[in-house]
Structure 1
Amino acid sequence: MHAGLKISAFAAALAATFGTAYGVGKGIDPVVTESAPASHGSHEGGGEEAGHEESPAGGLQISEGGYTLDLRTPSVTAGQRAQLRFAIRDAAGRAVTAYQREHDKELHLIVASRDLVTYRHLHPTRAADGTWSIPVSLPRAGGYRVFADFTPAKKGAENLVLGADLAASGAYAPQKLPAPSGTAIVDGYKVELTGGLTPNTATELKLKVTRAGRPVTDLQPYLGAYGHLVALRSGDLAYLHVHPNAGTGSGPDVSFTATAPSGGTYRLFLDFKHEGQVRTAAFTVTTGAGHAGADGGHGH
């Protein structure tokens, strides 16, 4: 994961049509699961002015740059623990076994439901043969997208974000995207978002963490940073992964710079660590010509 913005995209369709049932046949990091609408790639960091170049709208390809995400567990049962397995294959079909370590890990795995209500940031284990695995239990039936974020160890290799569809069988109950808001509450922490996303323009996103009305000034490093931000575009789930700007400290403010690949609605997921536990605050942000911001109207 480097400082320059790289957004991979691809308009992925749902793998199945849902009715009353969606039928198909702890090593887990931050989880956000909301049961109802709430009020409340792709890399960018270091405060660089990225976004001058127009990026393709989206970024969810299963193959790119000679590498392919081979998802060996294409379906699971909602509510049941399953072993999620996959491999990254090179152009010759061989499983990749050497990666550059970025933010303390060789590979970062994101799993998100297509309605953007369930989100998980996972760190699987790699076997000697290049197979990655991690136990996972998805709470709701429906369509999910799996993102593998990595950089091969090969000289000159660039960071890649590859995506594949995952289905969770069971009774399917669609949910609406939570309404745009500049505030998120998680486990007694209040996170306030200032700023917004602007298409093809680098803009600052500042998040302030408080608890019981007091600023949290002792955030702990998580994977080498004081915060991690992932943005997914509603619809095709185009992916942005952003890291704090240079100079970002231990709170209460964590600052990012991000560029949206297009206008639209995005779901932002902020991972932060405090008192030894990682939590995730989620926001819905709209952006587009004349309207960009967490409030759906303009940047704060």
Structure 2
Amino acid sequence: MTNHSGHSGHGAHAGHGGHAGHGGAQPGGLSVSQNGYTLELDSTIRTPGAQPVSFRVIGPDGRPVTEYTPEHEKELHFIAVRRDTAGFQHVHPVRDEKGTWSVELSLEPGDWRFFADVHPVGHDGTMTLGIDAAVAGPYDPRPLPEATGIARIGEYTVALDGELLPGEASRLTLTVSRDGRPVTDLQPYLAAYGHLVALRVGDLGYLHVHPEGEPGDGVTAPGPGITFMAVAPSAGTYRLYLDFQHNDAVRTAEFTVRTAETTPRPDAAPQAAPVPVPEHGSHHHGDHAHH
């Protein structure tokens, strides 16, 4: 996924044009500090329940950043998710003139990861900073949901079509229906018909993508399908969270996705020849390929 700066170390984004970036680009959100900017949380130890959360982005000069370049209609996108991938929340905090952001979150006991997706004025692109927070109380981690390709939110069903490929671009289409009928009047949300965040299971590496096309371009239909171009930085399991708006309400569909095996390119370096085994050997190691 192409990030706005073109540097693979920043939060990974796909622009509205849907052009994928460099395969294998590192995900964002793995560091609390990057390029001289640091995410500073008012408190990393929290109590459970609904509560205000305040934070700052400290710039290279040691002061809170107060000037941002809006991306997808917002100066800052804030994501909260528990380490077991439950409790996903995509919110948009309010900033005061001194650079402190505040937002309401609902937090259950456990270990959480907070992400701030920002483009400070004067920096060459968007970056994603991440910080851990601990919420006190008995923690009941939830098992990872199965990779079914179907998400149900009330009367809505979202179907995922396409495979996530490690290190190369792949097309993912999410199709929204309501009570079995295709939804063809999705409303724009953050300058798109859908907003997708992908997190790598294991370290919550952050991939933030947007669909091909945009509302009002004369080409992109308001549903039922929303198409994204995505690049998984590595093989593994990912959690996908799709925000979409219909009937003036934003809903989130969640998916578990495992990367598909990729076919070696014709120009790829040849693999080493298998080690010969005796004709009557009981173990033919050369017959076992990596799955």
Shorter-chain TM-score range: 0.7 to 0.9
**CA–CA distance in structure 2, aligned partners of residues 218 and 177 of structure 1:** 32
Q: Note if 1:131 corresponds to 2:103.
A: no
**CA–CA distance in structure 2, aligned partners of residues 280 and 5 of structure 1:** 29
2:36 to 50, 62, 66: 66
Deviation at 1:195, TM superposition (A): 0.5
Q: Note if 1:98 corresponds to 2:70.
A: no
SS at match of 2:137: strand
Q: Which has the larger radius of gyration?
A: 2
**CA–CA distance in structure 2, aligned partners of residues 4 and 188 of structure 1:** 39
Q: Which residue of 1 aligns with 2:111?
A: 143
Cα distance change of structure 1 residues 288 and 212 upon mapping to structure 2, 3 Å threshold: closer
The C-alpha deviation readout for 1:122-156, integer Å capped at 9, x for no partner, is 11000110000112221x211110000010122x5
Cα distance change of structure 1 residues 6 and 252 upon mapping to structure 2, 3 Å threshold: farther
Deviation at 1:46, TM superposition (A): 3.0
Partner AA of 1:241 in structure 2:
H
Q: Note if 1:278 corresponds to 2:245.
A: no
Partner AA of 1:205 in structure 2:
L
Partner AA of 1:63 in structure 2:
S
Structure 2: gaps of 5 or more residues: 214-218, 264-291
Cα distance change of structure 1 residues 205 and 71 upon mapping to structure 2, 3 Å threshold: same
Deviation at 1:54, TM superposition (A): 3.1
Larger relative contact order, structure 1 or 2 (CA cutoff 8 Å, min sep 6): 1
Structure 1: gaps of 5 or more residues: 10-40, 292-300
Q: Note if 1:205 corresponds to 2:175.
A: no
Cα distance change of structure 1 residues 174 and 8 upon mapping to structure 2, 3 Å threshold: farther
Contact 1:209–1:252, Cα closer than 8 Å, also in 2: yes
Q: Which residue of 2 aligns with 1:108?
A: 77
1:86 to 19, 36, 55: 55
Q: What is the alpha-carbon root mean square deviation over aligned residues? A: 2.0
Q: Which residue of 1 aligns with 2:205?
A: 238
Partner AA of 1:277 in structure 2:
A
Deviation at 1:248, TM superposition (A): 3.3
**CA–CA distance in structure 2, aligned partners of residues 8 and 163 of structure 1:** 13
Cα distance change of structure 1 residues 49 and 4 upon mapping to structure 2, 3 Å threshold: farther
Contact 1:206–1:255, Cα closer than 8 Å, also in 2: yes
Count of paired positions: 257
Where do residues 262-273 of structure 1 align in structure 2 (5 Å cutoff)?
A: 262-273=234-245
Contact 1:218–1:251, Cα closer than 8 Å, also in 2: yes
Cα distance change of structure 1 residues 56 and 172 upon mapping to structure 2, 3 Å threshold: same
**Percent identity between the two aligned chains:** 48
Q: Note if 1:255 corresponds to 2:255.
A: no
Partner AA of 1:81 in structure 2:
A
